[in-house]
Amino acid sequence: MKTVFSRPQALTNKPLHYCPGCGHGIIHRLVAEVIDELGIREKTIGTCPVGCAVVANEYFNVDMQQAAHGRSPAVATGIKRVLPDRVVFTYQGDGDLASIGMTEVVHAAARGELITTIFVNNAIYGMTGGQMAPTSLLGQFTTTTPYGRKKELQGSPIRVAEMLATLEGAVYIARMSVHNATHVMRTKRAIKRAFETQLEGKGYSLVEILSTCPTNWGLSPVEATKWLADNMIPYYPLGEIKVAAAVEGIN
Amino acid sequence: MKTVFSRPQALTNKPLHYCPGCGHGIIHRLVAEVIDELGIREKTIGTCPVGCAVVANEYFNVDMQQAAHGRSPAVATGIKRVLPDRVVFTYQGDGDLASIGMTEVVHAAARGELITTIFVNNAIYGMTGGQMAPTSLLGQFTTTTPYGRKKELQGSPIRVAEMLATLEGAVYIARMSVHNATHVMRTKRAIKRAFETQLEGKGYSLVEILSTCPTNWGLSPVEATKWLADNMIPYYPLGEIKVAAAVEGIN
Amino acid sequence: MVRKKVLMKGNEAIGEAAIRAGCQAFFGYPITPQSELPEYLARRMPEVDMIFLQAESELAAISMVYGAAGAGARVMTSSSSPGISLKQEGISMLAGADLPAVIVNIMRGGPGIGGIQPSQADYFQATRGGGHGDYRHLVLAPASIQELADLTWEAFALADQYRNPVLILGDGMLGQMMEPVLLPEEPPPLVDKPWATTGAKDREHNEIYTLHMGMEDLEKHNQRLAKKWEQIAREQVRYDKFMLDDAEIVIVAFGIASRVARRAIRMAREVGIKAGLLRPISLWPFPTAAIAEVAKQARAFLVVEMNLGQMIEDVRLATGGLVPVELFSKITIVPNPKEILQSLCSLARRTGCKIDEAAIKEESA
Amino acid sequence: MVRKKVLMKGNEAIGEAAIRAGCQAFFGYPITPQSELPEYLARRMPEVDMIFLQAESELAAISMVYGAAGAGARVMTSSSSPGISLKQEGISMLAGADLPAVIVNIMRGGPGIGGIQPSQADYFQATRGGGHGDYRHLVLAPASIQELADLTWEAFALADQYRNPVLILGDGMLGQMMEPVLLPEEPPPLVDKPWATTGAKDREHNEIYTLHMGMEDLEKHNQRLAKKWEQIAREQVRYDKFMLDDAEIVIVAFGIASRVARRAIRMAREVGIKAGLLRPISLWPFPTAAIAEVAKQARAFLVVEMNLGQMIEDVRLATGGLVPVELFSKITIVPNPKEILQSLCSLARRTGCKIDEAAIKEESA
Amino acid sequence: MDKKREREIRTLLLAGFGGQGIISMGQFLAYAGMLEEREVCFVPAYGPEMRGGTANCLITIDEQQIDSPIFEQPDVAVVMNLPSFNRFEYQVRSKGLLLVNSSLVNQPVQRQDIEAYSIPVNELASSLGNIKVANVVMIGALLELTGIIQAESIIDSMRSTFSDSKHNLLALNRKALEKGAEYVRYLSSKQRLAV
Amino acid sequence: MDKKREREIRTLLLAGFGGQGIISMGQFLAYAGMLEEREVCFVPAYGPEMRGGTANCLITIDEQQIDSPIFEQPDVAVVMNLPSFNRFEYQVRSKGLLLVNSSLVNQPVQRQDIEAYSIPVNELASSLGNIKVANVVMIGALLELTGIIQAESIIDSMRSTFSDSKHNLLALNRKALEKGAEYVRYLSSKQRLAV
Amino acid sequence: MVEMIMHVELCKGCGLCQATCPQDLLSTSDQVNSKGFYPVVLLDKAKCTGCALCARMCPDLVIEIHKQTA
Amino acid sequence: MVEMIMHVELCKGCGLCQATCPQDLLSTSDQVNSKGFYPVVLLDKAKCTGCALCARMCPDLVIEIHKQTA
Ligand SMILES: Cc1ncc(C[n+]2csc(CCOP(=O)(O)OP(=O)(O)O)c2C)c(N)n1
Ligand SMILES: Cc1ncc(C[n+]2csc(CCOP(=O)(O)OP(=O)(O)O)c2C)c(N)n1
Ligand code: SF4
Ligand code: SF4
Ligand code: SF4
Ligand code: SF4
Ligand code: SF4
Ligand code: SF4
Ligand SMILES: [Mg+2]
Ligand SMILES: [Mg+2]
């Protein structure tokens, strides 16, 4: 018998608490699969965001630290600087990374910190019940944009990947999506490349992943994947946004 | 007698405390001249950074607020939102804006906040005695990079103008310099355009100004202008980095 | 029009009371268990042509408050414990710049991320100033939704009156629970703000600042602020008494804990214990004199708080060693009246207070 | 090799002592009057193959400390008052996650931007926890450069011993002044950190966390932490006595203020006043018992602090109303021995302490 | 109906899972109490455990000022699903009242010192053509058994809180209240009362 | 020289403007005191007022543990420029000592209750070929007048703190110390002592 | 031969697998699991190609797939 | 005719004006001002074109320039 698909080693057996159909579950699994495939489970340390994934420490079967809201890149920097031969990643939501934690991610990227960020962009604050995120789309209804997000009042959503790509220290920046199986597989390849970028000491790497929050979007999980494809992808183009020359050889 | 050049109305009579040859003095004057020329002295409100310009409230003859370190764009947002018909500007150093205050400037820009930022990039922390700024150049000696700034340790300097230009709400972004009289005049034109962008309600505007800190660079004022031209300009290209379509008509 | 009671959630009552107090702008960042407040205002502020803005962080929110307050607006922010920690530098700035603003802390359990259950563990932070430097701000601790609304309204008035930030301190349960409330109608009178940065038209330019370079300048500035705080301390002490007239044991408790304490006191009275409650409404200024007065007659104090014992220091400072002051502490669990009753019984026995042991037996039978 | 004294600036002595205490990483952000500390370490840490990193802010610095501490390193950060306010959420995180770390606050005047003159106005913040939730950390207050070095060294040992943050609290003058110092040589013994996140090799994965979802979980967690802090409070009280044996008036002062107080006491002795000094070295835990003991014999206390009166609360809590406790307060000015002497004289007269009025006359003649 | 117990009923606990209308059931009761000029207090359990999990809330309705908004042993517990039944059966105070949604709970009540009623509210609601009013059916039963609130006050509270577009639902809700009341009248005519 | 006063000298204030070597003058004194196994304490005035403005520092040298690192009325004040002279002339304690850099201060000392010396240290230093050692010349004068520290200890302190490349400057500094001492010896042979 | 193991107790009935299966082989059970969700079921084992697309979309690691090695 | 007013008390002697003047008309005084700086002086009034480049570079608003209207 050959195992085609099973629970990765880098996840614990704990059932996930995420809502039905939530993208976090898929993304957790992808990160764990990559860790398994690279054989780095025993030398990987991750950070949890404040957000729905705050208890990711219970799911990832690697050493984990919960960071204060938005500070994951700084926490990861602290870890990586004292343990330079370990693999360090941050797992962050769009509120965590693009709102309160913007300074930290920009500076980790600018420093070319040898860490990898998994950035889950679900265009909303999931954990706190559906408030606007910096990545919420224009017109999107959230509990803090009850009349729809308006450019004049709340400004336009931030394209994090493109913004960070302007920094020299950020050498691998990709935007992927988990709304269907094909893109799930692409996302996994990007995550792998990001970790490899770190393993080869090239610089900072980040994969932005468009993900669903069926609960706070008020949609069924299947509708949510469609909403993502129809609304998010046009504003957030997918692909490898930046592959610095140094990284091009990898993979 | 026609006055060719005299102290602008928008400056008080208080002598500036800046070190001999410091760029802050020139930039203060330019901002004041623009305020005078636009006839907006009585409806302009500015914010002081924490940095050498912390007491700019004593120099600008307009209403001023001292903001906490890095928070000027948020303070300015607070002012502008409650007084939408006033002209609001922030005056910030590179430590203030690009280090501790990165989140606030990115978000003010992303929101397209109708404020103008005068961003004084002197590649160093002036007030605190010459520590590294996020904009310090590779190889630059500062009190916290006594062996020279190294890419592997401290990362590469951040090009703030280019980074912010990726944001939709930022509609006028320029980088200028005050190392010689020609550029001083160009800088003034850019500052004026930035204020006009605000006056016409187009969006967020920012002028990054390369400036000197003779004291902490350990150079004479004249040497400092040369150092700026030789070292900073090659890394920080001058010009109007972004003029959104909406702004193109202006001036 | 007859004013009618409405049933409201605590967080929403704060929001509506703020609007009726003439709040012109709200800047905040979501956090459980107070997100209903920004959410409510996100809906309501545009309806009344006022500003609601979700800030990028608590640091930004408090700085927006600073800017708007400096520009003369009535302004508010809210958060819960970790978010309030992030606002400490900003609160110190507001206090140092004599700026009026209303800050709401709907506390949850800590330290760190902690949890989202109700707690009162930010008492020290609120009353001693978690930020740097000497500064004080009013701390108002409501115990019902009605009081939440009333004190929110008053907070705006007090902030303007003294040019000082005012903190509303509630816990997660107060934020989430619903009670009938009669909402305020008229805003507190507007006060002149000639110091505000509104544009230097027909006057000298105004400056809002907290830097005082010279040693003597800063000293003088601090002494002036100290005078203001002394005045507030004289004028704004608030507290409530319950069954204190003949009380041998005095419970001191605020907020939600005081509600449970009232219940425990009624139960205690049924078993012959003369218990009463002194409920501080202003935590700063603390009702020190009132407690000192009560201490003359009481045999013992029981401080009931949802933390490891913080307000107890203020009670001890007020009683000055006259009578034993004991602690009943839960940290992130709203205490149970029965447990408090047990503590009261034990304390009554140990301090020779009246107690009807027969009734207790009967009760537990 | 004979250990030799060197003349060092306070800020640099902290840096060198940290290196000798085996500090593996420093993360900080510049701020006057402590920037010489990061600057010193920027030079020295690379020489000893250790990490110096200038963080993008105080928030980032304390979070880097959290990460590195969680990964098992001996780690330090430093700042001055406004920057320490910004670290409050992070300090609460460290305490909640049982992480050892050393934090230095070289205080300046506040509130807000304030000034850069020395001050002791962050006493409340330091001892009560400016951050949210119940937590405690050791607060060590040196009064000389030698003690600055010694206590820095010890701070690392204590942080590891208790898995708790330790704060060194000094003022701007201590940071800037120079005195001879004998530097520590050997680092405190390394302790095992099986909980550290170093990679889950040959063991279960480790987790550093502060979220405790369930109400009971969080309560239990807090109770466990409380036990630890009670233990520290029992084991780590430090203070110094000066001319206390026959003292009728006891000055309580810490840090630089205590140095000036000593001088005032010598002057007071010359005019027949039996004055003495109790100098808390650990501000938390506070030497409550020692002060209570002294209070039995003293006629009056004078608390000398460079703030509006903060430590005085702890002194009053310790003396429990037994004797008058008065305040001598400067906020951002190091007090002058003569002024303190005047306060001592006045207090002595009012409390019927011995005083040689003739000598005073002579002195002022 | 025991008039003495009626006076004693101040505290109610409602529990079930999210989506069963537990919170709105509680809010209608509190609102109606307010309309009757009584003192009321409503406390939801909040937090992450709400997500897809159980929902419950506490209501106090009293003639005098309400002290503690929480209580450990409610006078009445209404349990709308099995986990709630398991969790709360033993919390009701002795001689208190337990209402069980027997459509989802098929276990017998063990306690002998309380009064318990099993009411198949899902089926009863379905019989009205809308399973969503199962919670209202339960309120109807509760009011009939305790008299704590007038049914009409519940309708008034709905009128005050429903948006205009939902006002046409008032008739259905009135029927649901009546259905619940009717069922317990039928029950009490036949069911053993375990007091 | 009055031996009694010598023993009484514990506290020194040095003042001038930035660039005159005020701070290093103070540090050499403190360092030398340490080498002589005395208790020493050095306090710089810091902050923005330093920028281009005045620089000053306080030094205490004592046989016993030093209490207060600051003091209001120094036993000795050394003023290197006019603003410092104006600011500090009246701070020196009665019967204390005031050393004035007469190269930059051309005002007469008003106080009669102190001992004052005017020393043209800039010219004296120039005569050695290096105006930068004006501060060291002043130390020389100070040591000669007070005996508070051995001149050789100052040289030792320089040896310990100078980088290797600057060790060749030690001879010049020794000469500067001697120059200052010589000048006050010459002065005291002729100048009125206003004690 | 494809062997599919369904950890039904983990299934939240989100339907993402179902929407993904190219063979349309997945359906929802009419029996709730212990968490109160209607878990997914494989309708026709024989038709399953073992492509694992369903598993890749599943956020809850419900689906495990093994193949008989030829 | 160009009239140049020098607010010498504001001058910090930084030399930026001097380095800028296309006519090389500016020099440093040998007398310190009250702040201790050696202020700038205009050497040859007649040659000054009033181009104001010096003033534009001056950080301290020392230089004021007026021109005789023709
Ligand atoms: C300092 C602080 N501020 C705010 C919060 C409240 N909070 C918790 S999660 C969150 C945002 C979560 O959104 P996101 O990062 O997008 O993650 P998601 O839940 O969507 O995965 C916020 C604001 C907090 N816990 N701490
Ligand atoms: C919260 C806080 N952190 C740090 C400081 C110390 N500080 C004052 S100014 C400054 C940086 C100034 O550099 P920059 O913004 O580049 O301005 P410049 O002085 O160069 O014009 C710093 C870190 C402070 N005052 N407050
Ligand atoms: S709230 Fe949204 S992001 Fe959070 S677990 Fe549920 S679906 Fe996922
Ligand atoms: S330190 Fe630098 S930036 Fe600050 S005033 Fe002096 S020259 Fe200007
Ligand atoms: S493995 Fe492929 S064919 Fe089989 S059920 Fe899953 S998606 Fe369908
Ligand atoms: S995707 Fe997973 S959780 Fe969702 S229905 Fe399918 S098996 Fe169940
Ligand atoms: S105005 Fe022009 S020509 Fe005249 S001095 Fe200035 S720079 Fe020279
Ligand atoms: S530029 Fe201004 S300050 Fe500098 S030397 Fe010329 S006049 Fe003086
Ligand atoms: Mg999100
Ligand atoms: Mg700078």
Q: Which residue has the tokens 């601790």?
A: C141
The amino acid sitting at A162 is E
pLDDT range class, residue F188, cuts 50, 70, 90: confident
Q: Do D232 and D164 form a contact (C-beta atoms < 8 A)?
A: yes
- Which residue does chain G place closest to A33, by CA atoms? G56
Question: Looking at the predicted structure, is the pLDDT value of residue C71 above 60?
Answer: yes
Confidence class for position E191, pLDDT limits 50, 70, 90: low
What integer pLDDT is reported at residue B251 of this predicted model?
A: 61
- Helix, strand, or coil (residue B30): helix
pLDDT at residue E193, as a whole number = 47
Nearest CA, atom 1, ligand 6: G58
d(CA C112, CA C91): 20
pLDDT band at B23 (very low <50, low <70, confident <90, very high): very high
Name the band, by pLDDT with cuts 50, 70 and 90, for residue H35. confident
Per-residue pLDDT of B83-95, as tens digits, reads 999 999 999 999 9
Integer Cα distance of F49 and D117 in angstroms? 11
Average pLDDT of chain D, as a whole number = 96
| Cα E6 from Cα B42, distance rounded (Å) | 70
Yes or no, beta carbons of D63 and A68 under 8 Å apart: yes
Query: For residues B136 and B145, is the Cβ–Cβ distance under 8 A?
Result: yes
- For the Cβ of H16 lying below 6 angstroms from any atom of ligand 7, the answer is no
Q: Is the pLDDT of residue C364 over 80?
A: no
Regions in chain A scoring below 70 on pLDDT:
251
pLDDT at G32 (0 to 100): 84
Query: What pLDDT score was predicted for residue F45?
Result: 86
DSSP state letters, F88-126: HTTTSPTT-EEEEETTT--S----SSSEEEEE-HHHHHH
Residue for token pair 């207050």: D141
| Res. D286 pLDDT band, cuts 50 70 90 | very high
The per-residue DSSP string of C123-189 comes to HHHHHHTSSSSS---EEE---SHHHHHHHHHHHHHHHHHHTSEEEEEEEHHHHH-EEEE----SPPP
Q: What is the mean pLDDT of residues B226-232?
A: 98
D163-183 b/e (C-beta count within 10 Å ≥ 16 → b): bbbbbbbbbbbbbbbbbbbeb
- Residue ranges of domains in chain G, CATH in brackets: 2-67 (3.30.70.20)
Single out the residue of C55, C22, C40, C221 nearest to residue C65, CA to CA.
C55
User: Is-cis flag, bond preceding C280, omega within 30?
Assistant: no
Q: What is the mean pLDDT of chain G?
A: 93
Rounded average pLDDT over C35-53: 98
Whole-prediction pTM value?
A: 0.97
CB under 8 Å to B102, separation ≥6 — which residues? Answer: A102, A103, A106, A107, B70, B134, D56
**D30 prior amide bond cis, ω within 30:** no
Q: Is A50 in the pocket of ligand 1 (CB under 6 A)?
A: yes
Strands B63-66 and B44-48, sheet pairing:
parallel
- Cα-to-centroid distance, G14 and ligand 6 (Å): 5
Q: Give the C:E interface size as CB pairs under 8 Å.
A: 61
* pLDDT at residue B162 in the model: 98
How confident is the model over D53-75, as pLDDT tens digits?
Answer: 999 999 999 999 999 999 999 99
Between residues 153 and 172 of chain A, which touch chain E (CB distance below 8 Å)? none
Summarised one tens digit per residue, pLDDT across range H23-32 is: 999 999 988 8
Would you state the pLDDT for residue B40?
98
Instruction: Report angle CA D51, D53, D54 to the nearest 5 degrees.
Output: 160
What distance in Å separates the CA atoms of residue C309 and residue C302, rounded to the nearest whole number? Answer: 11
Beta strands in chain C (DSSP E): 6-9, 25-28, 51-54, 75-79, 101-107, 138-140, 165-171, 178-181, 207-208, 239-242, 249-252, 275-280, 282-284, 300-305, 325-329
Whether the upstream peptide bond of residue D33 has omega within 30° of 0, thus cis, is yes
**Structural domains of chain D in order of their starting residue, each with its CATH number:** 6-235 (3.40.50.970), 241-364 (3.40.50.920)
Contact at CB, A62 and D199, closer than 8 angstroms: yes
The residue ranges of every structural domain in chain A are 24-243
Whether residue E194 is predicted with pLDDT greater than 80 in this model: the reply is no
E46, pLDDT greater than 90? no
Taking Cα atoms as reference points, which of C80, C63, C59 lies closest to residue C25? C63
pLDDT tens sequence across C161-202: 999 999 999 999 999 999 999 999 999 999 999 999 999 999
Task: Find the mean pLDDT for residues E109-133.
Answer: 95
* Residue whose tokens read 């929480």: E70
Closest ligand 7 atom to residue H51 Cα is: 2
Rounded Cα gap, residues C311 and C123, in angstroms: 7
pLDDT of residue D360: 87
Write out pLDDT tens, residues C335-351: 999 999 999 999 999 99
Distance, in Å, from the CA atom of D77 to the CA atom of D30, rounded to the nearest integer, reads: 11
Determine H/C contact with 3+ CB pairs under 8 A as the test.
no
Angle at H64 (CA atoms; ends H58, H67), nearest 5 degrees = 130
Residue % of chain C over a pLDDT of 70: 99
Residue H6 near ligand 7, beta carbon < 6 Å: no
Helix (H, G, I), strand (E, B) or coil at A153: helix
Edge-to-edge, what's the strand order for the sheet holding F115-119? D6-9, D178-181, F39-44, F54-62, F11-17, F76-79, F97-101, F115-119
- The ipTM estimated for the assembled molecules is 0.97
pLDDT at D2: 62
Examine the pLDDT at E1 and tell me if it is beyond 60.
Answer: no
pLDDT at F195: 35
pLDDT at F2 over 70: no
The reported pLDDT for the residue numbered C363 is 74
Q: What is the pLDDT of residues C265-299, one digit of tens each?
A: 999 999 999 999 999 999 999 999 999 999 999 99
Question: Which long-range contacts link H39-42 to residues 24+ away (Cβ below 8 Å)?
Answer: H39/H6, H39/H8, H39/H9, H39/H11, H39/H13, H40/H6, H40/H8, H40/H11, H40/H13, H40/H15, H41/H6, H42/H4, H42/H6
**8 Å CB contact between F132 and F183:** no
**Minimal-distance CA residue to ligand 7 atom 7:** H21
Residues less than 5 Å from ion ligand 9, measured at CB: A 93-94, 122, 126
Q: Residue range D11-22: average pLDDT? A: 98
Whether residue E3 is predicted with pLDDT greater than 60 in this model: the reply is no
pLDDT tops 80 at residue F49: no
pLDDT at E52 (0 to 100): 55
Distance CA B77, CA B105 (A): 10
- Cα torsion D331, D336, D337, D342: sign: negative
Which is more confident, C4 or B111?
B111
One of 3.60.15.10, 3.40.50.450, 3.20.20.140, 3.40.50.970 is the CATH number of A24-243, namely: 3.40.50.970
DSSP string for residues in B144-201: TBTT---HHHH-PPP-HHHHHHTSTTEEEEEEEE-SSHHHHHHHHHHHHHHHHHHHTT
pLDDT of H1 reads 82
Helices (H) then strands (E): counts for chain E: 7, 6
Position C113 confidence tier, pLDDT thresholds 50, 70, 90: very high
The shortest C-alpha distance from A228 to chain B (Å) reads 21
Q: Is the CB of G62 under 6 A from ligand 5?
A: no
What is the distance between the alpha carbons of residues C30 and C36, in angstroms, rounded to a whole number?
9
The predicted model gives C29-40 an average pLDDT of: 97
Residues with CB under 5 A from ligand 10 (ion): B 93-94, 122, 126
Whether the Cβ atoms of residue B28 and residue B56 lie closer than 8 Å to each other: yes
Residues in contact with D307: Cβ distance below 8 Å, sequence separation at least 6, in sequence order? C134, D119, D120, D121, D123, D329, D331
Confidence of residue F193 (pLDDT cuts 50, 70, 90): very low
Under the banding of pLDDT at 50, 70 and 90, the label for residue C365 is low
| pLDDT band at residue C233 under the 50/70/90 scheme | very high
- Residue percentage of chain E with pLDDT more than 70: 89
Task: State the CATH class of domain F3-194.
Answer: alpha beta
Atom 8 in ligand 4: residue holding the nearest Cα: B22
Cβ–Cβ under 8 Å, residues A202 and A211: no
Q: Using one digit for the tens of pLDDT, what is the confidence trace for F121-135?
A: 999 999 999 999 999
Report the pLDDT value the prediction gives residue E49, as an integer from 0 to 100: 42
Condensed to tens digits (0 to 9), the pLDDT of residues D92-109 reads 999 999 999 999 999 999
User: At residue E83, does pLDDT exceed 60?
Assistant: yes
F18 part of contact set with chain B, CB < 8 Å? no
Ligand 1 centroid to A54 CA: how many Å?
Answer: 9
For residues C357 and A93, the model is more confident at A93
* Residues recorded for chain B: 251
What is the rounded distance in angstroms from the CA atom of residue H16 to the CA atom of residue B23? 10
Confidence of residue F78 (pLDDT cuts 50, 70, 90): very high
